[in-house]
Homo-oligomer: A and B are copies of this chain.
Amino acid sequence: MDKNFNYSSLKLGIIGGGQLGKIMSQKAKKMGFHVTILDPTFNCPAAQVSDNHIMGGFHDKKKLEQLVKETDVTTFELEHVDTSILKELFDQGYNIHPSPYVMELIQNKYEQKKLLDERGIPVPAYKDVKTKEDLAAFGFPVIQKAKLGGYDGKGVQMLKTQEEANTIALETESFIEELVDIDKELAIIVARNIEGEIKCYPVVEMLFDERVNICDSVMAPARISKEIEEKAIKISTESIKALDGVGIFGVELFLNKKGEVLVNEIAPRPHNSGHYTVEACATSQFEQIIRAVTNLPLGSTKLISPAVMVNLLGEEGYEGEPFIEGIHEALEIPELSFHFYGKSITKPFRKMGHITVLDDNIDIALEKANKAKNILKIKGSKKI
């Protein structure tokens, strides 16, 4: 897409129609672009706010081809996609960002880690699991990760003992990773455009729901020293350069108790740890990916206000049509922005929405966010 392209008629394709695709589409529509969503689910969140919806799965080669051919640029809201047809189309010159080669590499968490390691980027100690015996190579406890297909705590298993290694280990291609002595889990959203321009968002702190290992809250900025911040930015930038990717990347980091920063893993798309950017940064991650993949200059990543983001997960014990409990009381909290994704069905721990709370003082933002979290409950029409 050259610089004389008429942006008023730009057609964007997004693979995936969940909440990330929804907000990406809203930002693309803000800029006047035409948006087509590929997703198998009728009336998925992104389709509700877009021009066009191709109903098809992420491994449906015909539908993937249709999307790429009917649009000027194709991008992703998720990484679990068949890359074979996309690689062919990319080689024919179609605009697909990040490139399907980068997507393929990132899909395999082991290959991803190996590449970063080879480029001198600090990662936790890891080892390929070829035989059952390899599970014990670092002793116990140890983390076992599936090479392919994991997300939101799925595809990750902690093995505390040899007995667990014998009984509950994942039965799929996997690798083991040392159990990092975590001080904080950090994350950075990194943007890279077609011309290679790179911009980092502020370093944030991720807090997890321990029951299911899903990101629960994000604090921006992280409560860390300048030195740790600089280290985190440096290795995140180097990681994205190593991948040579175009788009938005969520870089998840471990800060260990020795003060070392290690790359945990990288998502090649907008990331839950960057939701806060919608309200708190000059350019949101969702607009930034649109700029990056359409050959526009990246926007400013400046933090306009400290913020805390909290995921609204479906309550345990409910499924079916969602019911939002506590919306009146929660929306009285000042500087609170309420996002609800428009999924027709809730399930326990399903990501149904999120809130972002701003405050000049990050501790007060956290207090306000926690208050809202305790008030807002996403229940369902059926008790289970």
Contacts and interface: CB of A to CB of B under 8 A. Distances in A.
Given A3-B328, A49-B26, A31 B338 contact: yes
A26 B31 CA distance: 13
Nearest to A302: B335
Nearest to A339: B30
Contact of A282 (B287, B297, B321, B335): B335
Contacts of A271: none
Interface in A315-363: 321-324, 327-328, 331-332, 334-342, 353, 358
A327 B6 CA distance: 10
A304 B335 CA distance: 10
A18 B48 CA distance: 18
Contact of A49 (B31, B49, B323): B49
A172 interface: no
Nearest to A9: B321
Interface in A247-295: 279, 282-283, 287, 291
Contacts of A7: 324, 327, 340
A334 B300 contact: yes
Nearest to A381: B6
Contacts of A6: 321, 323-324
Copies in the complex: 2
Contact of A323 (B8, B30, B334): B8
Interface of A: 3, 6-9, 22, 26, 29-32, 34, 48-51, 279, 282-283, 287, 291, 296-297, 299-300, 302, 304-305, 321-324, 327-328, 331-332, 334-342, 353, 358
A280 to B, nearest CB: 9
B32 A331 contact: no
B305 A340 contact: no
29 contacts: A3-B328, A6-B321, A6-B324, A7-B327, A8-B321, A8-B324, A8-B340, A22-B29, A26-B26, A26-B30, A26-B49, A29-B49, A30-B340, A31-B338, A32-B339, A32-B342, A32-B353, A34-B342, A279-B282, A282-B334, A296-B331, A297-B328, A299-B335, A300-B334, A300-B335, A302-B335, A304-B304, A304-B305, A304-B358
